[in-house]
C-alpha cells in the first residue's frame, strides 16, 4: 500500500482533509475498488493494532516496516518468477496482516493494549479574540499555552476567566491546562460548566471530558462521553477512532 495512502486515510479519519480533498476521497471510495479495500484493511489494522502502541513513533515504525516488507516480497516474486510476474493483491494484503501479527507478538507482547492520552491530546493553538486592556495577559496566555507551558498559561487564563467568566473559549483552554497539569477534578468542573451552558464549545468540552477520563484510565466513563458526540461535530472522527480502541 503506498505510503501516501496511509497519510490520506489518517487525515480522513482525523477530519483533516479540505472540502476538495474530502470530495475526491469519498469519490474514490465509491469508484475505486482497490482504494476502498485498502481503506478497509487500514481500518481493520487501526482497530486491532493501533491501540497497542504507546506513541505515534512506534506506530509509524510498524507501518514503515509493513511497507518495506511488502516491497521486498514483490521484488522477490519478480526476481524468481516462480509463479507469476504480477503479485496477487490478496497475497500482498495477507502478508501485511501476517507481518502485523508477527511484529505485535514480537515487540509489543507486554503492552496492555489500551489507548493513551498522549495519542489523542492534540490541542489547537490558542488564538483569543479578547483584546483591549487585556492585551498583555492575552499575549502571555497564548505564548505560554502554545509553548506547552501549561502552568503559566493557567495563571494567565485564570485572570482572563475572572474578567470574562462567560467566555467559553477562555474557559475551555483553562480546562485543558488543568487537564495537562493532572488537576482532573478542576478540569472536569470546567468542562461540565461549558457542556451545561450549551455554548459553541459544548462538543469540544465533551471531547476533553472524555480525554480527562482516558488520562485517568477510566475507560468506561470515557466511552460513555464519546458516544454523546454527534456525527456533525468536528471531533466526531477522532471520537470514533478512540472508541474503536477502547
Looking at residue 107, its pLDDT comes to: 45
Looking at residue 10, its pLDDT comes to: 80
Tell me the HSE value of 124 on the side-chain side, using a 13 A CA sphere.
Answer: 13
Contact 222, 214 (CB under 8 A): yes
- The CA-atom distances, in angstroms, between 147 and each of 123, 141, 183 are 11, 10, 19
- Tens-place pLDDT, residues 177-214: 999 999 999 999 999 999 998 889 999 999 999 999 99
Looking at residue 14, its pLDDT comes to: 79
Instruction: Answer positive or negative: Cα dihedral of 50, 53, 56, 60.
Output: negative
Q: Which three cell numbers stand for residue 84?
A: 507469476
- The CA-atom distances, in angstroms, between 136 and each of 33, 38, 54, 67, 125 are 55, 50, 38, 50, 18
Q: What angle do CA 146, 157, 202 make, to 5 degrees?
A: 85
One digit per residue, the tens of pLDDT, for the chain of length 246 reads: 556 777 788 888 877 888 888 899 889 888 988 888 888 877 766 655 544 444 455 555 655 665 565 555 445 544 544 444 344 445 455 555 555 555 544 444 444 467 889 889 999 999 988 766 778 999 999 999 999 999 999 999 999 999 999 999 999 999 999 999 999 999 999 999 999 988 899 999 999 999 999 999 999 999 999 999 999 999 999 999 999 888
Which pTM was predicted?
0.58
Query: Which residue ranges make up each domain of the chain?
Result: 3-111, 118-245
As a whole number of angstroms, the distance between CA 8 and CA 14 comes to: 10
Q: Which CATH number fits domain 118-245: 3.40.50.300, 3.30.420.240, 1.25.40.10, 2.60.120.380?
A: 1.25.40.10
As a whole number of angstroms, the distance between CA 226 and CA 1 comes to: 31
Amino acid at each position: 500500500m503506498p505510503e501516501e495512502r496511509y497519510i490520506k486515510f489518517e487525515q480522513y479519519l482525523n477530519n483533516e482533509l479540505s472540502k476538495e480533498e474530502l470530495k475526491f476521497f469519498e469519490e474514490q471510495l465509491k469508484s475505486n475498488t482497490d482504494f476502498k479495500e485498502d481503506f478497509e484493511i487500514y481500518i481493520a489494522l487501526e482497530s486491532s493494532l493501533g491501540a497497542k502502541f504507546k506513541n505515534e513513533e512506534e506506530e509509524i515504525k510498524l507501518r514503515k516496516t509493513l511497507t518495506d516488507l511488502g516491497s521486498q516480497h514483490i521484488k522477490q516474486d519478480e526476481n524468481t518468477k516462480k509463479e507469476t510476474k504480477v503479485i496477487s493483491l490478496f497475497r500482498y494484503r495477507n502478508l501485511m496482516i501476517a507481518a502485523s501479527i508477527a511484529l505485535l507478538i514480537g515487540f509489543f507482547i507486554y503492552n496492555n493494549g489500551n489507548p493513551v492520552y498522549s495519542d489523542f491530546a492534540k490541542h489547537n493553538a490558542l488564538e483569543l479574540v479578547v483584546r483591549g486592556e487585556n492585551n498583555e495577559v492575552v499575549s502571555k496566555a497564548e505564548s505560554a499555552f502554545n509553548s506547552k507551558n501549561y502552568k503559566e498559561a493557567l495563571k494567565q487564563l485564570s485572570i482572563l476567566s475572572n474578567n470574562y467568566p462567560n467566555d467559553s473559549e477562555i474557559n475551555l483552554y483553562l480546562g485543558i491546562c488543568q487537564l495537562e497539569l493532572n488537576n482532573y477534578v478542576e478540569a472536569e468542573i470546567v468542562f461540565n460548566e461549558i457542556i451545561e451552558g450549551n455554548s459553541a464549545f459544548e462538543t469540544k468540552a465533551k471531547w476533553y471530558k472524555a480525554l480527562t477520563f482516558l488520562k485517568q484510565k477510566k475507560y468506561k466513563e470515557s466511552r460513555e462521553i464519546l458516544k454523546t458526540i454527534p456525527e456533525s461535530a468536528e471531533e466526531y472522527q477522532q471520537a470514533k477512532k478512540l472508541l474503536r480502541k477502547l
